[in-house]
Amino acid sequence: MAIDKKIALITGANRGIGLETARQLGHKGTTVIVAARTLDAAEQTATTLKAEGIDAFAVQLDVTKAADRTAAAKIVTDKFGKLDILINNAGVGAQDGMFNPKTSQTTEEELQTVFGTNLFSVIAVTREFLPLLKKSEGGRIVNLSSVLGSLTLHADPNSPIASIKVFAYDASKTALNAFTIHLANELKDTKIKVNSAHPGWVKTEMGTDQAPMEIVDGAKTSVELALIGPDGPNGRFIHLGSELPW
């Protein structure tokens, strides 16, 4: 492995947008650390990517487990000594699906579960890997958000997402966007850039077959933000090169 080769870790990389993100980064010459909830799933994914000529490395990382986060950071430290790109891709959808509006009837259990994965775990994973990102020549953090986290669009009755109000999921992505803004500000005097990515409505298990976008296109925003140069955006909410309203 070349010393100057970029190292990227993608959470939830064993399927869907996470897998495709790892694939696209790998084909662009990046070493990809594919993280999954089980080591078996991560290793199977790494084997698949290696067969395509990609430099892939497997690590077990259930983002909701502190022991996994600590262990994964140690493995990356020992093997690579740095991290150039962290893509916080792992996430969960609404308990009753994305097309069943629910606000006041949202249970505490659902709020804890959805926020636990989509926000609290992202913060914890980022905190764990931040020392490694600070060793990079230009660290990049990409948080997988959703247009459903946009307060501006939700407040507009004429917007395309006006009727899709699943409170736990939407609010978790709104809060994730707030984390992006705050972390980008905290790191503004470093070479690390932090952005939120909206992949689009993609044909995944969460997006369903009704979605208009293919997975290959859903990964493009994450890949673009992972590879931005020093003049690229920071603390922004992006979809395919365009800014979205918070």
- Annotated active-site positions, please? 169, 173
The position carrying tokens 């140069």 is 229
Within 13 Å of residue 115, how many CA atoms lie on the same side as its CB? 13
Residue 175 to residue 234: CA distance in whole angstroms: 17
Residue 184 to residue 193: CA distance in whole angstroms: 6
Strands 140-144 and 193-197 come out as parallel
Strands 237-239 and 242-243 come out as antiparallel
Q: Of 55, 62, 48, 51, whose CA–CA distance to 30 is shortest? A: 55
Going by C-beta distance under 8 Å and a sequence separation of 6 or more, which residues neighbour residue 231?
A: none
Residues 209-232: b if buried by 16+ CB within 10 A, e if exposed: eebebebebbbbbbbbbbbbeeee
Torsion angles phi and psi, residue 12, rounded to 5: 60, 40
The position carrying tokens 């077990």 is 60
